[in-house]
A and B are shown apart, each in its own frame.
Chain A
Amino acid sequence: MSGGTQGRAVFSAETAADRVVPPTGFTARLTLFAAAAMAFLAVFALALSLATGRLADRWASELARTATVRISTTQDQRVAQTRAALKVLETTPGIASARALSLEEEQALLEPWFGPAMPIASLPVPQLIEVIEDENGYEAEGLRLRLMAEAPGAVLDDHTRWRRPLVQAAERLRTMGWIALALIAATTGAMITLAANAALSANAQVIRVLRLVGARDKFIAAAFVRRFTLRAFSGAVGGTLLGMLAVFMLPGASAEGSFLTGLGFQGLHWLWPLSVPPLAGAVGFLATRLAALRVLKGLM
């Protein structure tokens, strides 16, 4: 039997070739239930992965890789401390560049608040240094201490840094979601293997008769494989639909963008859970086929 015809036969109605194995109500129901439950869990793991992925991306893009050093001191100290601060910054690992803003630039920054006529040079406006970090980032506490020693009037303002652990947490959650999905797939495979093994040993006499009348292992395996593939698939259809309904009924993402309210699918992501039933069918197919061929090889 070629792979193609076997693949098609998997989804056709029960044929004479399927009837050679007697129906087993109990294993069938257990397999359906297990596949449905696993699909339900898979939908949630998928929602978690996609939502945390979304959060991680958004937060990461908001994480500007810039910080500011503000130097508030007396006018006569200003130039010396700025130079000292720049020297510290240039020798700090993790900083790509540090540049003191010119008077004109500072004026441009303040203009929206005070208007163009502001005589900035005569005011005690702090000197600003724009710091751009490289991809490794710098160690903020160490930098603060060194600045304090070299330029007492320098204050490091890294307003967006607090988000970094959040981004990491979101990325971890996303990874855990994928791991959960892999575990769910593996567990489904293990359960179907157990169910298939039970069905194979319950039908030892049937298999014996089939072998006696000239059935090849492939034919016998296919009869079991079609059953379990169909059960895994249809159970997963039910579980997936219920899971999607449950995710749909979660509170929607609110404007505040709080983490818990963002857990769901958005837009095209709703198509992702539709891949769960075919995957469950594929897991059922492989698990049963491997179990059947292994068991059959062990028989006389």
Chain B
Amino acid sequence: MIELKDVNYGYGGADLLVGASLSLGAGSFHFLTGPSGAGKTTLLKLCYRELQASSGRITLFGQDARDMGRDDVSDLRRRVGVVHQDCQFLDHLSLAENVALPLLVSGHASDPGNLKELLGWVGLGDQAGSLPAELSGGERQRAALARAVIMSPDVVIADEPTGNVDWEMSQRLLQLLIELNRMGKTIIIATHDMNLIRAAKAQVSARVVRIKDRRLQIAGADL
């Protein structure tokens, strides 16, 4: 579904990622790990074409990322649900409206029953009318996950989705992602929470990819 081949990327200065190759097949489950500032968020942004590789080749759903027009990028983002590290909500809209935003912008009707169920699923049934600013960091991350999956995307990309939540809630969010994976979705989660990775590995066959010294490595059992 998403393939990176010999990708280099740098923000103007020295390259942050060198020779990165990664293949996210349909139904696969990946963890992306590495120290803070290693380039996890950057790598994920390359996967939903928020950024473009300086060299190398990125293929998204069979299409070369370089050849994608602006509308192609919009279509891509309807097939890839993203939990952004900084959530990216519209501050003047309610939580429910933010979660339903992907439906609105793609011209789909939103079913109030489904929306309510989805909010209940992430434990935000009572906060539907709240503004994002009125929510805690953990609540915002759960809402971001709800928004990421509302279009029933083929791929879910989660950038540190458990960064601001307690252990119990992070287990619950992980459970949601595992459930989605069992439904056939492709999942990639950036995290440096090793306990989370271990908990997941007990339930699904997840691959762990690590960014170390600007390079991507497949982590072995040593994590």
Q: Which residues from chain A sit less than 8 Å from chain B, CB to CB?
A: 1, 16-17, 19-20, 22, 206, 208-217, 219, 296-297, 300
Contact with A along B46-57 (1 / 0, CB 8 A): 000010000000
Report whether A20 and B104 are in contact in the complex, using a CB–CB cutoff of 8 Å: yes
Report whether A214 and B78 are in contact in the complex, using a CB–CB cutoff of 8 Å: yes
Instruction: Count A-B pairs with CB separation below 8 Å.
Output: 61
Report whether A20 and B70 are in contact in the complex, using a CB–CB cutoff of 8 Å: no
> Which A residues touch B73, using CB under 8 A?
211
Interface membership of B210, Cβ < 8 A: no
CA distance A4 to B93 in the complex (A): 28
Total residues of chain B contacting the partner, CB 8 A:
26
Describe A's contact surface by its main secondary structure. Answer: helix
Interface residue from B70, B75, B93 paired with A297 (Cβ < 8 Å): B70
CA distance A81 to B82 in the complex (A): 104
What are 16 of the A-B contact pairs (CB < 8 Å)? A17-B104, A19-B93, A19-B97, A20-B104, A22-B90, A208-B88, A209-B101, A210-B90, A210-B105, A212-B88, A214-B102, A214-B106, A215-B74, A216-B70, A216-B71, A216-B74
Interface membership of B209, Cβ < 8 A: no
The residue in chain B whose Cβ has the minimal distance to the Cβ of A19 is B93
Contact with A along B85-105 (1 / 0, CB 8 A): 000111111000100011011
> Which A residues touch B71, using CB under 8 A?
216-217
Interface centre among A206, A213, A297 (most CB of B within 10 A): A213
Report whether A300 and B50 are in contact in the complex, using a CB–CB cutoff of 8 Å: yes
- Apart from A208-B88, A211-B74, A216-B105: 19 A-B pairs, beta carbons within 8 A: A1-B107, A17-B104, A20-B90, A20-B105, A22-B90, A22-B91, A22-B92, A206-B90, A209-B88, A210-B101, A212-B77, A213-B77, A213-B101, A214-B151, A215-B105, A215-B106, A216-B70, A219-B105, A297-B70
Report whether A212 and B82 are in contact in the complex, using a CB–CB cutoff of 8 Å: yes
The residue in chain B whose Cβ has the minimal distance to the Cβ of A210 is B105
> Which A residues touch B151, using CB under 8 A?
214
Interface membership of B30, Cβ < 8 A: no
Report whether B74 and A20 are in contact in the complex, using a CB–CB cutoff of 8 Å: no
Report whether A214 and B77 are in contact in the complex, using a CB–CB cutoff of 8 Å: yes
> What is the minimal beta-carbon distance from A106 to any residue of chain B, in angstroms?
85
Interface membership of B147, Cβ < 8 A: yes
> Which A residues touch B104, using CB under 8 A?
16-17, 20
